[in-house]
């Protein structure tokens, strides 16, 4: 197998031998696949969608003979390895799988090789979602810019939160799929029967990009946010705006009245487990359909429905983009860059994207997501994703994202736990973010404190 965690003292030579042995086994009995490209290593985080991505990479290896290794880490560990790798003389990794919260850090640092520098004919397939144009970067203006920027990355996974609901209980109680938060609250009330079942399970624990990511659907759909308009260069700090306050009040209404009793301690794993064990009527999370329909892991097989996150009368459904992008570091040899681009070309094909979905991971191809596959029960999540993606928004497009997230993760968690009163937590976050932005040289006005 070409998946592994790298233990201490485990050398690249041993890893390559393992990958080549796996390759030999994978190609036995197939057409004569032979390696055409240099071996590559992909650094990636462990996540619910990783098994699907691994399966599609294994398919690439079997079909082409091109060796691929994985370096798999927890979320924060993968980020730190990438930061170190791009600053060394030669990166040990050839494809960096970067999260929406942090990719701009690598863009602005000039660490990612424009893909057309590697292959002048390379382009992003028109079938692939651009996720608010995040693959394109103008190094002069330091902005996301599809028209004037260079193509730096290829989308790897459409990681956005969507509503999961118990479709069997909806049918039993005559409930309709909600499009507003008020409708969702009424449905959550109807299903709330603690401790056997919570109306909704929400992630609230502090992490690298955990609680902040999960409150974005609430605050963005109430007109709030952390900044006014980063894409346009307006860095007015709005985390203590009336819109953000309203969104967080909605989040807390669910948590306190129809949610898990310890929402502030709930991780993504906890939330998924609450749904898979039948203890949650709803969750807002990234789609993991293979898990919920696996009878060895789920008590709700076939009973989870999917929909775009709710909106309000004034704002549409507005999930924050937490997608993943694949980029090639500049500090690797030309043959490994070419091999990385060869994988990206294959990954964009309809065949690869369908295989990706069949392996249990949401694809990044619009043509696949809106194809006949979406009508099949096992791919029923696709319609919800296709509905939600057009209004999904980039969350952080400044290199200081990790510093901002350290603040928001703490203050949102404290507000959810009750350690701080909500307005106090938002005002404190605004003051702290202001210090980070001032130190980095931004013009970042701050609003008056919430009273």
In Å, how far from its chain's centre is CA 174? 33
In Å, how far from its chain's centre is CA 297? 22
User: Tokens 């301690």 belong to which residue?
Assistant: 265
With respect to residue 389, please indicate whether it lies within any of the assigned structural domains.
Answer: no
- Our CA dihedral for 105, 106, 111, 114, rounded to 10 degrees, sits at -130
Q: What is the mean pLDDT of residues 210-218?
A: 97
Q: How many distinct structural domains can be found in the chain?
A: 2
* DSSP summary character for residue 111: -
Assess whether 304 and 358 both reside in one domain. Answer: no
pLDDT per position as a tens digit, 370-407: 999 999 999 999 999 999 999 999 999 999 999 999 99
**pLDDT above 60 (res 104):** yes
Assess whether 251 and 262 both reside in one domain. Answer: yes
Assess whether 142 and 190 both reside in one domain. Answer: no
* DSSP summary character for residue 213: H
Assess whether 297 and 428 both reside in one domain. Answer: yes
**pLDDT above 80 (res 33):** no
Assess whether 118 and 104 both reside in one domain. Answer: yes
Least confident piece of the model among 18-22, 48-52, 346-350, 441-445:
18-22
Peptide bond into 174 cis (omega under 30): no
59 in Cβ contact with 69 (< 8 Å): no
Assess whether 404 and 431 both reside in one domain. Answer: yes
Assess whether 310 and 327 both reside in one domain. Answer: no
211 in Cβ contact with 412 (< 8 Å): yes
Assess whether 113 and 134 both reside in one domain. Answer: yes
With respect to residue 126, please indicate whether it lies within any of the assigned structural domains.
Answer: yes
pLDDT per position as a tens digit, 281-336: 999 998 878 789 999 999 999 999 999 999 999 999 999 999 999 999 999 999 99
**pLDDT above 50 (res 432):** yes
Which residues make Cβ contacts (< 8 Å) with residue 105, sequence separation at least 6?
83, 399, 401, 402
Q: What is the mean pLDDT of the chain?
A: 92
53 in Cβ contact with 326 (< 8 Å): no
Query: Mind giving me the DSSP string for 287-335?
Result: --HHHHT-TTT-S-TT-EEEEPPPB-SSS---PBP--EEEE-BSSS-HH
- H/E element, 285: strand 282-285
pLDDT per position as a tens digit, 240-289: 999 999 999 999 999 999 999 999 999 999 999 999 999 999 999 988 78
Question: Residue 233 belongs to what domain range?
Answer: 162-319+398-439
Assess whether 87 and 144 both reside in one domain. Answer: yes
With respect to residue 329, please indicate whether it lies within any of the assigned structural domains.
Answer: yes
Q: Are strands 324-327 and 153-157 parallel, antiparallel or unpaired?
A: antiparallel
**pLDDT above 50 (res 7):** no
With respect to residue 379, please indicate whether it lies within any of the assigned structural domains.
Answer: no
137 in Cβ contact with 111 (< 8 Å): no
Assess whether 56 and 168 both reside in one domain. Answer: no
**pLDDT above 60 (res 1):** no
At 49 the pLDDT is 87
User: Tokens 């892991």 belong to which residue?
Assistant: 297
Assess whether 224 and 290 both reside in one domain. Answer: yes
State the Cα angle at 252 between 234 and 451, rounded to 5°: 60
At 360 the pLDDT is 87
Q: Quick count: other Cβ atoms within 10 Å of Cβ 318? A: 25
**E strands of 29-177, at which residues?**
40-45, 68-73, 95-99, 136-138, 143-144, 150-151, 153-157, 162-166
**pLDDT above 70 (res 117):** yes
At 291 the pLDDT is 86
Q: Rounded CA gap, 381 and 374, in Å? A: 7
In Å, how far from its chain's centre is CA 227? 20
Q: Which of 285, 255, 249, 289 is nearest to 270 (CA)?
A: 285
Encoding tokens for residue 360?
A: 């249990």
With respect to residue 288, please indicate whether it lies within any of the assigned structural domains.
Answer: yes
Kindly report the CATH number assigned to the domain that includes residue 140: 3.40.190.10
Q: Rounded CA gap, 198 and 282, in Å? A: 8
* DSSP summary character for residue 278: T
Residues in the chain: 451
At 347 the pLDDT is 98
């Amino acid at each position: 197998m070409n998946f592994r965690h790298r233990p201490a003292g485990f050398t690249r030579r041993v890893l390559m031998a393992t990958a080549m042995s796996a390759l030999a086994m994978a190609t036995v009995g197939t057409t004569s696949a032979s390696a055409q490209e240099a071996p590559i290593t992909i650094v990636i985080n462990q996540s619910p969608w990783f098994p699907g991505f691994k399966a599609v990479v294994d398919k690439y290896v079997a079909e082409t003979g091109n060796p691929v290794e994985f370096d798999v880490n927890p979320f924060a560990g993968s980020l730190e390895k990438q930061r170190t790798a791009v600053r060394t003389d030669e990166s040990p990794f050839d494809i960096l799988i970067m999260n929406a919260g942090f990719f701009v850090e690598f863009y602005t640092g000039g660490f990612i090789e424009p893909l057309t520098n590697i292959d002048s004919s390379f382009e992003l397939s028109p079938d692939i979602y651009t996720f608010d144009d995040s693959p394109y970067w103008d190094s002069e203006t330091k902005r996301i810019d599809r028209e004037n920027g260079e193509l730096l990355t290829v989308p790897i996974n459409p990681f956005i939160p969507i509503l999961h609901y118990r479709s069997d209980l909806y049918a039993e109680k005559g409930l309709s799929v909600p499009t507003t938060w008020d409708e969702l609250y009424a449905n959550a009330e109807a299903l709330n029967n603690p401790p056997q079942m919570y109306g909704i399970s929400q992630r609230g624990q502090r992490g690298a990009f955990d609680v902040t990511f999960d409150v974005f659907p609430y605050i963005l759909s109430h007109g709030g946010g952390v900044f006014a308009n980063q894409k346009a260069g307006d860095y007015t700090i709005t985390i203590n705006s009336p819109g953000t306050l309203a969104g967080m009040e909605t989040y807390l209404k669910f948590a306190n009245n129809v949610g898990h009793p310890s929402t502030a301690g709930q991780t993504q794993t906890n939330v998924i487990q609450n749904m898979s064990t039948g203890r949650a009527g709803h969750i807002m999370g990234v789609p993991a359909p293979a898990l919920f329909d696996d009878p060895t892991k789920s008590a709700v097989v076939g009973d989870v429905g999917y929909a775009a996150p709710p909106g309000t009368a004034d704002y549409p459904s507005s999930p924050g983009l937490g997608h993943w992008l694949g980029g090639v570091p500049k500090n690797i040899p030309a043959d490994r860059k070419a091999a990385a681009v060869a994988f990206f070309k294959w990954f964009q094909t309809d065949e690869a994207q369908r295989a990706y979905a069949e392996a249990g991971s949401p694809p990044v191809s619009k043509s696949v997501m809106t194809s006949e596959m979406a009508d099949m029960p096992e791919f029923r999540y696709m319609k919800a994703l296709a509905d939600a993606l057009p209004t999904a928004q980039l969350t952080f497009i400044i290199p200081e994202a990790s510093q901002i997230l350290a603040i928001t993760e703490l203050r949102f968690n404290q507000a959810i736990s009750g350690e701080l009163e909500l307005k106090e937590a938002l005002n404190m976050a605004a003051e702290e973010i202001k210090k980070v932005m001032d130190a980095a040289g931004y013009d970042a006005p701050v609003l008056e404190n919430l009273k």
